[in-house]
Structure formats: structure tokens, C-alpha cells
Amino acid sequence: MTMKDSALVGQETINQARTEEIVRAFVGLADTLVADFDIVELLDRLSRACVATLQVSAAAILLDNQKGRLVVVASSSEESRLVEVAQLQNDQGPCLDCVRTGSVVVSDDLTRDTARWPLFARAAIDAGFSSVVSLPLRLRDQTIGGLNLFQSGAAPISPSDRAIAQGLADVATIGILQQRSRHRSELLAEQLQSALTSRVLIEQAKGVVAEREGLDMAAAFELLRKVARDTNAKLTDVARSTVEGVAGP
């Protein structure tokens, strides 16, 4: 085997490993789409899959609360959640533009977009991010939210990573919208509200676990996720029984 050949074999192995990783991310996401699945859990999985599979530092997901606002429902890190909150409080940023228009919004260099979103760009740069991509959670004319990818390195998020992330986002969106059409058209409003209530419930449960076990909120969330995984239960159900276990509801 020549040196050139072995380099090619090496490249091939890397490509194959990469392909397998991506396939695993899709399968893992599809695996959560069982009957009556937990939307918050699905979106939490989506944000983690992006960070695990792609060259991105953080991912966060916002959902339309149907009251004219977006709400953070999942984030891979506390930094990205805070940047999202800054985006919502200041009513400016790529994810808002993305959900409003239903199309992809990219900033490859946030320092050059300080005029476009002055407060958002500042918050994102302060959190250590240098570029951002916002992808719509969209099926045909319906946009239910957005997926934000953050990068802290100098290299912006690559077009291929962007395409894979959009694929993952599409799987999640189709899952959410399909669950609805199996029943009836109005279930979307019901599901989104239910997901937002779940999110609140999980925050309450994080507080209970954090106080009881002496953990920070991120570790408390990990523990709740672990219990859900180990007992094969829905995250929301674990959260509910945790909160109700203290002194009734």
C-alpha cells in the first residue's frame, strides 16, 4: 500500500465514522417519536444531538407560545439559554427573524452584525460566541419555532453542518406536526401549550432536586433525565412526580 493509499483509507474511515455518527443522531431522534411522545424531551434531544454531532458549541430551541412570543424550551448549555433570553427580552436577534420569516438566518461573524442586532450581538459575543445560525422548525407554511446553533471558534458553522441540523430539525418538526394530524388539526395549539407547561414543570422539579441533593440546576436536570432514562419514563412525568412528591401538588 502506498502512502497515498493509506491516507485515502484513513480519510475513508473518518468519513464512515462521521456518517455513522450522523445516522445515529437521526435514528436517536426518530426513536423518541413514539406514540404520545414528550415534545420537551424531543427538543432537548435535538439540541444535544446538534452539539454531539456537529461542529457547533451550543444549541438552543425556541417555540412559539401562540401569544406573540417565543419561549426557550431547550438549550444545550446555560450560556446559550441566557443568550436566547437576551434575544427575547430585547426583541431582536436571528431566531426572531428566522421564525418571523420562516427562513434560515446566518451570521458568520457576530462582530460584523452589531448594527443588525446590537443588543443580541453584544450578549452573544459576551457569552463567547462568534457566529450563529438560526434554522426554522417549519413544515410547509407552518413555523412553530426555531433552532439556534452557536459557534465559539473562529470558523463559522459549515454549510454541511447547517444542512444536517436542518434535517434533524425537520425530523422533529414533522414528528410534532404528524402527531397532530393523526388526531385533528387543532391539536397543534394543544401540544405547544402542553410543551410549555411541561417546561415550567421541569423547572420546578429542577428546583426540588437542586435543593434536596445540593446540586446546581444543570446537574439537577441531568439527574432528572437520568431517572427518566433509567426507568423508561417520560421526562415530564418524572418531573411531575418529583414536584408532587414533596408535599402533594
Partner 1 sequence: MDLYTWSRLLAAAAVEPAAAPDHILALCVEHLDVSGAGMSVAGHDGGTVFTTATDTISRRIEDLQWTLGEGPCVDALSQGMPVIVSDLSNDPDLATERWPTFLAEASSLGVQAVFAFPMQIGVIKLGVLDLYRLIPGPLAPESLAAALVAADAGSTALLELRGGVAEADGVFVLPFQVQVHQATGMVQVQLRVTAADALLRLRSRAFVEGRGLIDVAVDVVERRLRFSEEDA
Q: Which residues bind partner 1 (CB under 8 A)?
A: 65-68, 71, 85, 183-186, 189-191, 193-194, 196-197, 200-201, 203-212, 217, 240, 243-244, 246-249
How many C-beta neighbours within 10 Å does residue 42 have?
23
* Of 30 and 82, CB closest to partner 1: 82
Give min distance, CB of 69 to partner 1, in A.
Answer: 8
Give min distance, CB of 71 to partner 1, in A.
Answer: 7
Give min distance, CB of 209 to partner 1, in A.
Answer: 8
* Of 32 and 198, CB closest to partner 1: 198
* Of 167 and 207, CB closest to partner 1: 207
Give min distance, CB of 65 to partner 1, in A.
Answer: 7
Inter-residue contact 110 to 117 (CB < 8 Å): no
* Of 22 and 238, CB closest to partner 1: 238
Give min distance, CB of 35 to partner 1, in A.
Answer: 14
* Of 28 and 102, CB closest to partner 1: 102
